[in-house]
């Protein structure tokens, strides 16, 4: 019997496996596809590979500002895809080697729970095949190739793209984010249904590649989960790049119209007809639990299908745990990894903890967005008295030298002087948020931060100035009228 079986080899599952081996557990990891999960194979990494392509295209298109002349600039979607696949292959191989070096047994196949300490692994897609065919009862399962006994089981099966009840989404040319990453030809016109993180990242990437991009968002604003000021500023920057955004707009249907697709929508100003060559449906994520046999075992889920867990990541069935996207909450790769580490540490009797109040979130748009901690709206809803400090990148020397002056740093502190939130929209926001994450996690006071020297000239000085601005002490801002 193994100490632990993990179902799902994404950033939650494989990291949990490594940590469990460090703690001396015997571990089997079951993964139906390649290790690394959605993040490495179909999400974070391939998207960021394309983001880098887009970043270079943007830089080259503005080369004359730096005294550089470039003629005949072309972009190859196929070559970008080949580069992306090389990167993914390299990282998958790296994870496979790590698991092997740590002595994690990896089994390829679909897993189904038979009971609280038995996992059956089958080949191919899960389907409803009575287990009595294999002499094991009556619950659904594919014909399995082996059973694994374990003292504890960890579910880390992740999530998949959510669907929408819109007629026509089954048409050729309507894709999800995974399929969009596999195309070889760039669409002249790309329509994106959904103005969240995934939708806007692809909007900026394909706009930089040369596509005409239209984003259709059902809610009144894009990026509605962010601090409202950041979302509004992003809307301005998208418009400046030539990306059209229709908010408060509902797609009614998608039809084939000759060689193009036609989206019919109803918006704030009436009916809309939007022609497109390709349509991306980016409507969020749903838990990937099909075939796990949750209901038969009595593993509780919420109204949206996410697995319910307690503070130890234990499900309602003793010995079975769950982490990552499959439990909902903050559906981010680094959160899944941290939950995986914490879950196995708790199994081992240690006292791990995920600091959910200080989870950084990065959005790879142009400009980048990164945020950690509380927004103004969250402070208001929780009746927390707060004050705000800001500093624009337009006044930062390094940003000027980069030619990237859009955006700002915004810091929120409470009445006890504790830094509660850091919100950045601008160059290298995803790197700058690391310092903000430490400040929020440790509950650093503004008065304790003052005197922390930031090298010059760096983008980090903008964060320093925003924090100084909380007390009216910013050195490169004109004094406020208070």
Give yes or no for a contact between 151 and 1, defined as CB atoms under 8 angstroms apart: yes
The number of residues in the chain equals 482
46, 68, 72: which is closest to 59 by C-alpha?
Answer: 68
Using an 8 Å Cβ cutoff, are 324 and 306 in contact? no
State the maximum Cα–Cα separation within the chain, in Å, rounded to a whole number: 79
Cβ–Cβ < 8 Å for 412, 421: yes
Counts for the chain of helices (H) and strands (E), in that order: 14, 24
Catalytic pick among 62, 246, 304, 456: 456
Tell me the Ramachandran region of residue 26: left when phi exceeds 0, alpha when psi lies from -120 to 50, beta otherwise. Answer: beta
Q: Find residue 392's DSSP bridge partners.
A: 408
**Three-state DSSP class for 238?**
helix
Q: By the 8 A CB rule, do 407 and 233 touch?
A: yes
Residue 112: its H or E element: strand 110-115
Gyration radius of the chain's alpha carbons: 24
In which residue are the tokens 């290790």 written?
35
Taking CA 283 as the corner, what is the angle to CA 279 and CA 289, rounded to the nearest 5 degrees? Answer: 120
The token duo for 369 is 């967005």
The per-residue b/e assignment along 90-126, b for 16 or more CB within 10 angstroms, e otherwise, is: ebbeebbeebeeeebebbebbbbbbbbbbbbbbeeeb
Annotation marks residue 456 as catalytic: yes
The residues, ordered by sequence, that sit 6+ positions from 17 with a Cβ below 8 Å of its Cβ are 4, 6, 9, 27, 29, 99, 102, 104
Structure tokens at 258: 């000759």
Cis peptide before 457 (omega within 30 of 0): yes
3-state secondary structure of 28: strand
Contact 447, 417 (CB under 8 A): yes
Catalytic amino acids? 456
């Amino acid at each position: 019997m193994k100490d632990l079986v993990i179902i799902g080899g994404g950033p939650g599952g494989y990291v949990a496996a490594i940590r469990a081996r460090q703690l001396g557990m015997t571990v089997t990891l079951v993964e139906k596809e390649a290790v690394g999960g959605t993040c490495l194979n179909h999400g974070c990494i391939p998207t960021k590979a394309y983001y880098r392509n887009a970043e270079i295209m943007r830089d080259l298109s503005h080369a004359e500002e730096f005294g550089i002349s470039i003629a005949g600039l072309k972009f190859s979607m196929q070559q970008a895809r080949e580069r992306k696949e090389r990167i993914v292959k390299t990282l998958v191989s790296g994870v496979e080697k790590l698991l092997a070096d740590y002595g994690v047994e990896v089994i390829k196949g679909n897993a189904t729970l038979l009971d609280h300490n038995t996992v059956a692994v089958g080949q191919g897609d899960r389907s409803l095949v009575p287990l009595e065919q294999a002499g094991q009862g009556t619950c659904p399962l594919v014909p399995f190739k082996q059973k694994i006994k374990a003292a504890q089981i960890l579910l880390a099966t992740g999530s998949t793209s959510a669907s929408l009840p819109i007629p026509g989404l089954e048409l050729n040319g309507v894709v999800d984010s995974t399929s969009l990453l596999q195309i070889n030809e760039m669409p002249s016109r790309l329509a994106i249904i959904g103005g969240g993180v995934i939708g806007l990242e692809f909007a900026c990437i394909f706009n930089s590649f040369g596509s005409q991009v239209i984003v259709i968002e059902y809610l009144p604003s894009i990026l509605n989960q962010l601090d409202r000021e950041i979302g509004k500023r992003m809307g301005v920057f998208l418009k400046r790049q030539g990306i059209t955004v229709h908010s408060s707009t509902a797609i009614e249907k998608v039809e084939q119209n000759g060689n193009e697709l036609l989206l019919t929508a109803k918006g704030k100003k009436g009916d809309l007809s939007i022609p497109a060559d390709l349509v991306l449906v980016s409507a969020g994520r749903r838990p990937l639990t099909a075939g796990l046999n949750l209901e038969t075992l009595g593993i509780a889920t919420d109204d949206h299908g996410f697995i319910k867990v307690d503070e130890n990541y234990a499900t309602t069935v003793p010995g079975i745990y769950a982490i990552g996207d499959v439990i909902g909450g903050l559906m981010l790769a680094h959160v899944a990894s941290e939950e995986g580490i914490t879950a196995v540490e708790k199994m081992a009797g240690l006292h791990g903890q995920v600091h959910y109040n200080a989870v950084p979130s990065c959005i790879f748009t142009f400009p980048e967005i990164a945020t950690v901690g509380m927004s103004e709206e969250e402070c208001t809803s929780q009746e927390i008295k707060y004050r705000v400090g800001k500093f624009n990148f337009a006044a930062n020397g390094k940003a000027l030298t980069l030619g990237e002056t859009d955006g700002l740093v915004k810091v929120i502190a409470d009445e006890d002087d504790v830094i509660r939130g850091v919100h950045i929209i601008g160059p290298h926001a995803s790197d700058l948020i690391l310092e903000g994450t430490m400040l929020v996690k440790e509950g650093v006071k503004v008065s304790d931060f003052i005197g922390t020297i930031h090298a010059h000239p760096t983008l980090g000085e903008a964060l320093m100035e925003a924090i100084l601005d909380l007390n009216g002490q910013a050195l490169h801002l004109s004094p406020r009228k208070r």
